[in-house]
């Protein structure tokens, strides 16, 4: 069965990244969580990136702030699809730093970037990637999207009444 | 077998988007190309988005410029993973418009955004998504990454000599 | 008689969008309010956009945040003038995302964009659009502008005294 | 019959603004063109703004670059809907100056802002404003939108063949 | 004797603009304060701008936020030097709107722009302008600059001790 | 009689700064031109800044690009009004660097900043500063402004005919 | 023995700059702290910059906010390596002003710029510069980096347990 | 004797990075040049970063464009001072991507960032770092700075004559 790794540069990113973990668990997808810092534990990152596809992991979600190198470096090391979550760190210049250092990868090494602090969407995207070859997960995505719709319809009724 | 749809808002986006088509063909992945404009052919976009997952498509790549709504709208309509390519259009404000209108999707509806004009990376990412459940494609990704490496090594030798 | 539709992507946009509703009611213009999400209820948006001009609506005001596609998509579907209100959402990059994804529409499909969180001005603009063919509303606009002037004059007197 | 005024700060803005004039003529809407500079002919601007609604004008389109005050000042003087076209001038900081000085109007005085150099969309928006109370013009808008669609469909066929 | 006019678009700008008034009074320069809104009292602004140089005013300081047209419009109307203070208003996009709509004036009509919320510096600059032809005020500027220096020297001593 | 110093960081800034020199000569104001680099000739800058007001100079215009420190440093050294011209240098980040490093001066040391590459306006502003205490120069400014107006009126006639 | 000077434009920068002082003391490197304002004490800055290399100082760390000229001006005056710390000041435009006015130095006069409010990194960089010729300090850097690693490893264990 | 390594992510960066090589050679400092790509040759980068300080290298200059991870990753791996040169790549968003992904490093791992395309300054900074403990190189820096000064003085004479 497919497994998603959710890694982040620092425990301080966990409150944001937890949203990815929660949504994946809601889809009954196995999640492996770890702290892997590109700048402080480069050897661990190397080991992680080089071997992830041999350990049953299908998709990697990597969150980082500031000059956020973790998603791109893991994408450099792994053949798996890597989803990058730009986290708005304490001394960030409005999030531009993490957005651009994750998004603007050179030709050859893509990172699937989601919105600033968009860990929830990273989780959904990982599920969609698994769902693209797993009918059961695809159906759960369809149900999830139906749920989004119903919540809006209900909100609309309240506004009108 | 897996198929990737490459759609774009206008024929003027084709020179950029061709890079995605070419790289996918290089991985022997079937590609379906179409012009689908969110703003000028909304009905066609609707039809495309609602049915893509029923027609053997595994991943959708959508490129658009300016206020680029195509990737996000298709992501709204389809349960498949959608990769967005921000294209720098003629009157773009340095590409910020297409980058932000593709990247900053609300919670619930992710778009896997790549770099500005990064169609090549969109193609590789689509291959990686297929590769995450297809050992044969995964191996091709590993070979591709090896090729990137060798090209740099060779360039380094030339610089040193 | 003319009617203005005020729609928004989420109930969380209502506190901002209420200013448009209030100012229109102040001009005795009929208002129809609804929650229509481009990304979560695309079918409802389609239905709304395709039929608005057949239901007595003259002007559409649409507010949305982040990658804000609602105003542009409704403009794509309807022949009516659409006024877009960029709403500064929770994880917005300073509002740039909603501003650019509403403003930078491609040739052929305009959205009349107002300032960030500028719902009040959206309401006034809708009234001016109606007033451009309705002498009675035009006169109310003239009275409203006179009121703005008097408030400043009074403030100036207080500062000087 | 309705008439649209197309004004601009300098003859150097004419190549951009001509697109508004052309599209309006295509809709058989009467156009009045003038050069009115907020900073060099403030008296003329005052006269124009104060009297436009008394001279058969229904909508004003104003284009300007840099610190672009013409659209906002005319909106301050006239009760009519004013459409602002940010023009990218010679020493512009990427167009941000004209976009922000037209868009970010204070509460009470809206300007309907279109995309950078988006004069064509300004013309269409003016037609839509007239069409909101003129069935004949509304029908022309519907036909125009149909034309946009057909052009894309035809482009799609060429790409596929 | 020289007099400086300090005008602003709204009473809400007064807390910022007060710093200009205070510093000028500290230099014993006569100050005239008024609320003049470009967008809500255009006639008053016209009258003010056209006549200021005939009423004993030597320098005009104008503060405004958002799409800040007051400094530039007054500069258009008056032959006097106009100092513009970009005020960061409530829905400002980080102050960029007021900075750019005051700074980026077209050739022919300068505004002497100071830093965001820099009313104090506007006051000092007005004094320097007067001082450029008034030896007595120039000497006060020299004394003021000496005071700035001494304050830093004293701070340095405290840090070192 | 009043004299204006026009200084710049490099001879490469001369093509831009020449516009300030020309307009001042057009007003019959004496101009003194020099190359003074904050970063390469700090001693010369110091000497210049400390003594300018003792050498018959009334206003200083300083142009510089990139991390543009010349205007602010001269303002730190001289009691005279200093006008800063942000020059867009070769590796500039769209001019933002020179604009911000000239504009955003701390409290106590203002620089009268004009538009990017706005040397012509710097010259006019210097003339207005002299004109604020010199009736003869003030009259020339009035004539100059009349000329701007007439040029627009003539342009308008050509557009209409 | 090597000594590092830590200077800043204002005592208000001390809370940020203290991080540089603390980290250097942790490496047993001698630190000299002073308040030196480019704009308010230019003579002191001159004296400091011209003589620092003759007083046993090896590296200069300079912090400043807004139009931050201190690091660049000291770099202009001293042959020593100068590390610039962009400090986010009260009326800063999101830190862009201090970042750009420190980073974008012209050819010939470099400033080693660190992240916004990155005084801690400035201290580490100064230690690395000393360590590049001092084996003892280099070893301390290696130990420090080992400490960073261990802290992440420990955090990872807590997240997993 | 001290040696400087100049590395870059791609041979396409060489035209920019050559300026660093040339200036170092002008200071008679030994230079080692290599192509090391963070994203395409991560193992080579690892090897380089981990061992540089054991191979007689004193300072590392690393240039890269887009999401530029090379400088920061090498700084993560090496105890030596790392100078980062943001290179403006083909699809860069005006250089912001490389500037921010090099500059905004997290606490613990500094990169000494220079201006966009500022390879020349990177070379000078490396020389200054060596000069901070090598009197002979320091003297060369002093001579170099004298040369900068003389060139400006000569330019000033030409402008005046």
Partners of chain C (3+ Cβ pairs below 8 A): A, B, D, E
Per-residue confidence (pLDDT) for residue G160, from 0 to 100: 85
Neighbours of C90 (CB within 10 A): 10
CA distances from H130 to D134, H27, H103 (A): 77, 11, 22
Among A102-111, B77-86, F86-95, the least confident range: F86-95
Per-residue confidence (pLDDT) for residue A3, from 0 to 100: 97
Give D121's contacts in chain B (Cβ within 8 Å).
none
**CA gap B74, B84 in Å, rounded:** 10
Partners of chain A (3+ Cβ pairs below 8 A): B, C, G, H
Buried b (16+ CB within 10 A) or exposed e, A92-121: bbbbbbbbbbbbbbbbbbbbbbbbbbbbbb
> Are C99 and E91 a contacting pair at CB < 8 A?
no
**CA gap H102, H81 in Å, rounded:** 14
Average pLDDT over residues H30-47: 97
Closest-CA distance of chain B to residue C46, Å = 9
**CA gap F75, D89 in Å, rounded:** 30
Q: Which residue has the tokens 């794509």?
A: C76
Give E37's contacts in chain C (Cβ within 8 Å).
148, 152
pLDDT tens-digit map of H50-80: 999 999 999 999 999 999 999 999 999 999 9
Per-residue confidence (pLDDT) for residue G90, from 0 to 100: 87
* Nearest residue of chain E to residue C151 (CA atoms): E40
Rg (C-alpha) for chain F, rounded Å, is 16
Per-residue confidence (pLDDT) for residue B104, from 0 to 100: 98
**CA gap F17, C151 in Å, rounded:** 44
Tokens standing for residue D88: 């990218």
Per-residue confidence (pLDDT) for residue F90, from 0 to 100: 87
Give G155's contacts in chain A (Cβ within 8 Å).
10-11, 35
Closest-CA distance of chain B to residue D10, Å = 20
Per-residue confidence (pLDDT) for residue H161, from 0 to 100: 78
Give C44's contacts in chain A (Cβ within 8 Å).
152-153
Terminal-to-terminal C-alpha distance of chain G: 46
Give A154's contacts in chain C (Cβ within 8 Å).
none
Please, which pLDDT band fits residue C101 given cuts at 50, 70 and 90?
very high
- Give percent of chain B above pLDDT 70: 99
3-state secondary structure chain F: CCEEEEEECCHHHHHHHHHHHHHHHHCCCEEEEEECCCCCCHHHHHHHHHHHHHCCEEEEEEEEECCCCHHHHHHHHCCCCEEEEEECCCCCCCCHHHHHHHHCCCCCCCCEECCCCCHHHHHHHHHHHHHCCCHHHHHHHHHHHHHHHHHHHHHHHHHHC
**Contact criterion met (CB below 8 Å) for A74 and A53:** no
Selecting from G14, G41, G91 the residue whose C-beta is nearest the C-beta of E153 gives G41
G3 sits in which H/E element: strand G3-8
Largest CA distance in chain A: 59
Report ipTM (2 d.p.). Answer: 0.97
For chain F of 161 residues, list the mean pLDDT of each consecutive stretch of 10.
93 97 98 97 97 97 97 98 96 95 98 98 98 97 97 92 78
Per-residue confidence (pLDDT) for residue H83, from 0 to 100: 98
- Give percent of chain D above pLDDT 70: 99
Per-residue confidence (pLDDT) for residue A80, from 0 to 100: 98
**In the β-sheet with A82-87, what is the strand arrangement from edge to edge?**
A30-35, A3-8, A57-65, A82-87, A112-113, B112-113, B82-87, B57-65, B3-8, B30-35
**CA gap H85, H68 in Å, rounded:** 9
Buried b (16+ CB within 10 A) or exposed e, F36-57: bbbbbbbebbbebbeebbeeeb
Partners of chain G (3+ Cβ pairs below 8 A): A, E, F, H
Burial class (CB in 10 A: 0-12, 13-18, 19+), G142: middle
pLDDT tens-digit map of G110-152: 999 999 999 999 999 999 999 999 999 999 999 999 999 999 9
Selecting from G35, G91, G93 the residue whose C-beta is nearest the C-beta of E152 gives G35
Give D34's contacts in chain F (Cβ within 8 Å).
156, 159-160
Burial class (CB in 10 A: 0-12, 13-18, 19+), D94: middle
> Are A155 and C33 a contacting pair at CB < 8 A?
no
Is the model's pLDDT at H1 over the cut of 80?
Answer: no
CA distances from G11 to A118, D29, E155, G118 (A): 38, 65, 6, 17
Binding site residues of F, as ranges? Answer: 10, 13, 40
List, as ranges, residues 40-79 from B with C-beta within 8 Å of D.
40-41, 44, 66-67
pLDDT tens-digit map of H83-110: 999 999 988 999 999 999 999 999 999 9
Domain count, chain B: 1
Task: Please state the separation of Cα H37 from the chain's center in Å.
Answer: 15
Range of the domain at B136: 3-160
Axis crossing angle, helix G70-77 with helix G42-51, rounded to the nearest 10: 40
**CA gap H127, H140 in Å, rounded:** 9
- Give percent of chain C above pLDDT 70: 99
**CA gap G100, G98 in Å, rounded:** 6
Closest-CA distance of chain D to residue B36, Å = 7
* Nearest residue of chain A to residue C35 (CA atoms): A156
- Annotated binding residue G89: no
> Are H141 and G110 a contacting pair at CB < 8 A?
no
Contacts of H49 (CB under 8 A, 6+ apart): A42, H73, H74, H76, H77, H78
Give H111's contacts in chain G (Cβ within 8 Å).
114
Is the model's pLDDT at D1 over the cut of 80?
Answer: no
* Nearest residue of chain H to residue G99 (CA atoms): H103
* Nearest residue of chain H to residue A111 (CA atoms): H67
CATH classification at residue B128: 3.40.50.1970
pLDDT tens-digit map of E77-133: 999 999 999 999 988 999 999 999 999 999 999 999 999 999 999 999 999 999 999
């Amino acid at each position: 069965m497919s497994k998603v790794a959710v890694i982040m540069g620092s425990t301080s990113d966990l409150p944001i990244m937890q949203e990815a973990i929660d949504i994946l668990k809601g889809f009954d997808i196995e999640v492996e969580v770890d702290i892997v810092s590109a700048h402080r534990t480069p050897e661990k990152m190397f080991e992680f990136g080089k071997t992830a596809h041999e350990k049953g992991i299908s998709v990697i979600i990597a969150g980082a702030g500031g000059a956020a190198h973790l998603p791109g470096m893991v994408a450099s090391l792994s053949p798996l699809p890597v989803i990058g979550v730009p986290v708005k760190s304490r001394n960030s210049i409005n999030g531009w730093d993490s957005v651009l250092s994750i998004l603007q990868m050179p030709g050859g090494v893509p990172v699937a970037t989601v919105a600033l602090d968009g860990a929830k969407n990273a989780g959904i995207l990982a599920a969609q990637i698994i769902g693209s070859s797993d009918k059961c997960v695809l159906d759960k995505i369809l149900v999830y999207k139906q749920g989004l719709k119903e919540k809006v319809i209900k909100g609309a009724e309240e506004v009108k009444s």
